[in-house]
Chains A and B, each alone.
Chain A
Amino acid sequence: MADLTTNFAGIRSPNPFWLASGPPTNCGEQIMRAFDAGWGGAVWKTIGEPIVNVSSRYSSVDWNGQRMMGLNNIELITDRPIEVNLREIAEVKKRYPKHAVIASLMVDSKRETWHDIVKRSEDAGADGLELNFGCPHGMSERGMGSAVGQVPEYCTMITGWVKEVARTPVMVKLTPNITDIRVAARAARKGRADALSAINTINSITGIDLDTLTPRPYVGGQSAHGGYCGPAVKPIALHLVQQIATDPEVGLPISGIGGVAGWREAAEFILLGCGTVQACTAAMHYGYRIVEDMIDGLSNWMDEKGFRTLDDFRGLSLPKVTEWKHLDLNYKIVARIHEDKCIGCDLCYIACWDGAHQCIHRAGYAKPPGAEAASRERLTVTPIAKLDAQARTNGRTPPERIPHVDEAECVGCNLCWLVCPVENCITMEKTETGRPAESWDQRTAKASGV
């Protein structure tokens, strides 16, 4: 059985699954239930001077009938008094000494104010601190959150203030709403941060109600931009994590955040170097119970792969991410359509014609419009099986609907394989070009005689 215990910049937890700072970590009662469900740690809903929220606060992007592919919120930090949050931190730590409790903090940009909140949080028993320099809505208008994270000098300065008094590890939570996240990460490093968490939510307008013409979420006839999260943001988060994980000037442990809904995403973030992962939207959607399969699935995958601890596979995918100029120009694949699996939807055919390189064909037709026109001209009547003695061919795809690939023309773009709804019906097969590996970098160097 795989060992999931984690030591992240000195913060220990029974597994790498933490709840991110947000509505699921609003109070002690919630966090204790989350720990009972199996979560290894929790980053407390950001503590600071209590704010006033609006209603409504969330909106989502639904996709093809699935709810909440992406979630957007305009909720601010905690609306509860600092003392109440700190008292509850103490209570949770007393009852759950082995679980990680991280205090997320956001206060006015004054040295004394930061010193005060850091000391009080640590006195309450927090295992670590997460500086919220990422919240992109509301708080940023007041000079906090991403307003700090977007200015490297502020980020360094405030992190430095915190480090002057902090006794526990200090994490800086980065905003993705910036041109180059490495600059922000370096600034945190310069302020002597012990770790980073990335990413915070992305500036967003999820959509507009086409009856009221008002963006969502609707607040009394208006809306405001919010922070985007959930499954939709994972690819962006993975890229930004990879950027800071490979930057030689950063070199800090990373807690990965952004679209973590199950063990697969967790494995992906860890493969790109993360020490822990944080989830929020998935817990808001389905409740704390989702952690059970995160733990179980990751353990089973690790057992199958022969990884005993998280460190055994942490960062293994990082060397496989490179720059385009280093990719092998002589690596060649082509699409193969496996006729026995083809259901004749012809999505690959039209995708190749309209969206790629016109190298998938249907017998008898030079171009797609010809095939469509022929179908429209065909006379069809309702078959009456016992009178018409027509053979039913439901189980078999008519051969004329099975497209074929012109392999000489195929550029190996993957599009047909991506659109094919049937598993393993289209495979991308390596073909031998007979030429040795050569990247663009090498080719241009050779051409210029270097």
Chain B
Amino acid sequence: MSLMDNAELPVSRNLERFPELHPALDSQSALAEANRCLFCFDAPCMGACPTHIDVPRFIKKIASGNLRGSALTILDANILGLSCSRVCPVDVLCEGSCVMHRYNKKPIEIGRLQRHAMEYFYSRPAHALQPGPAQDPTKRAACIGGGPASLTCAAELRRQGFAVTVFDNRPLPGGLNTYGVAEYKLRPTDSLREVEMVRALGVEFRQAAVGTDVPLADLEREFAFIFLGLGLGSMERLGIPGEDSAGVVDALRFIERYKTKPDFEVGRRVAVIGGGNTAIDAANAALRLGAAEVHLFYRRTEREMPAFSFEFDHSKVEGVRFHWLAQPVQILSSDGRVVGIKFVRTQLDEADASGRRNAVPVANSHFDFACDMVIPALGQSRLAGMLSSTRSIELKRGSIVVDRPTGRTSNPQYYAGGDCVNGGREVVDAVADGKRAALAIAAALRSEMAKGVEHHG
């Protein structure tokens, strides 16, 4: 059975409610847009892309009518070129660095051009990528987690001919691309097309929870190197009374559930807690799913909000209402169901060493807010604790510490990348991490093979 047929993703109703933010380019507009590109030398857009896609090269291939070559140029640098073309914050990456800005011209629409090339590629099944010449099958690598970092690491290792297995505890691989990105940006089917391509390269997928279903010790015996693409796991809890009430759903669970459960009901008056991009995604989604009002509460102000400003602007247009300087202290419930939140007003203190101003509660400033659904989106905790304690993998503020150019952790058998390393950035950052780690792992596997030869000789 193809992943596309999976009944767990009933997207039909969501497609109507989540029309695309940026529709596809038709081939003539793509040609016109591609021809605007100056073809800069050592292009800034390429440098601004964490995966260093050769942007002018793929754009000129669109202009020349070589769409297959264009797509392969993208995939060569970024195996998840399709999802990145849809979810990348291009304003702060490639398009943000476009030289067109510097003489008052509209930057090249790199994201939409990339999507144009990738959709051409995926519309032709004969376009499958080929794995590299097979290497010693006893020298194998494992990737833990099925998200962008692991998929990339696995695909790159296959392109170099190594045997690799991806362990994921969810029924469908793809990680946040499949379960956690808002529909108006990326559809799960697109994520699954990419998973299929990685599978077609010869990557083995196993659904199993590492550490429980599969003990670490077994894994370490079976695989020479292990890549950790664990992601962030579930959201941090609010840590206030009443948060177990029905109607409290953390943001990632919320996004996952409306995608997978056809009967999922959104509240009428929804409160989202937090100021990051995920909070914004959840707030927008709640509105589109039919909530009458969506209110977002953040304990600092608009200035300190970690969400991208274009995400914030978009969500104001959607109709989300914002409340600053308010921190929840209790979820109010009746018969076990949410009926509201008790907040305390905050004020900002002086900036700390990192330049960030902390929110401090103001005495006797409590107020109640009535609502029937609460979506906390409060930053995210990690599942790396066990690895830290039993495998001496160094963590810092909950993130795995790696050597950035290679992704190697403090334990030489382990490499890591993506959200579990960077604390939660973009898909493209996870792809870049996965690729760098794969190159380092491939080099390490080759040196193991060379040692083996020496040993026998």
Contacts and interface: CB of A to CB of B under 8 A. Distances in A.
Contacts of B429: 381-382
A211 B303 CA distance: 57
A143 interface: no
A347 B39 contact: yes
Contacts of A422: 103
A64 B44 contact: no
A349 B99 CA distance: 15
A376 B52 contact: yes
B96 A343 contact: no
Contacts of A368: 41-42
B42 A380 contact: no
Interface in B35-86: 35, 38-42, 44, 46-50, 52, 63
Contact of A384 (B50, B306, B428): B306
Nearest to B97: A394
A219 interface: no
Contacts of B127: none
Interface residues of A, number: 34
B40 A64 contact: no
A421 B97 CA distance: 17
B40 A382 contact: no
Interface residues of B, number: 41
B324 interface: no
A72 B405 CA distance: 56
A251 to B, nearest CB: 45
Given A345-B99, A350-B41, A397-B102, A375 B46 contact: yes
A366 interface: no
Given A384-B425, A386-B305, A379 B41 contact: no
B102 A343 contact: yes
Contacts of A347: 38-41
Contacts of B96: 392, 394
Interface string B306-334: 10110000000000000000000000000
Contact of A64 (B35, B46, B304, B422): B35
Interface string B174-206: 000000000000000000000000000000000
Contacts of B422: 381
Between A343, A350, A382, A385, the greatest number of chain B beta carbons within 10 A of the residue's beta carbon is seen for A382
Between A65, A350, A378, A389, the greatest number of chain B beta carbons within 10 A of the residue's beta carbon is seen for A65
Contact of A385 (B93, B100, B308): B308
B374 interface: no
Contacts of A401: 42, 44
B355 interface: yes
Interface in A351-404: 368, 371-372, 375-376, 378-387, 389, 392, 394-397, 401
Interface string A152-194: 0000000000000000000000000000000000000000000
B63 A396 contact: no
Contact of A382 (B32, B46, B89, B100): B89
Interface of A: 64-65, 341, 343-347, 349-350, 368, 371-372, 375-376, 378-387, 389, 392, 394-397, 401, 421-422
26 contacts: A64-B63, A345-B40, A345-B41, A347-B38, A347-B40, A349-B41, A375-B46, A375-B52, A378-B47, A380-B48, A380-B432, A381-B432, A382-B92, A382-B425, A382-B428, A384-B306, A384-B308, A385-B92, A386-B303, A389-B355, A392-B96, A394-B97, A394-B102, A401-B42, A401-B44, A421-B38
User: What 10 A-B pairs have minimum CB-CB distances, sorted nearest first?
Assistant: A350-B41, A343-B102, A346-B41, A65-B35, A343-B99, A345-B40, A382-B426, A64-B35, A65-B32, A394-B101
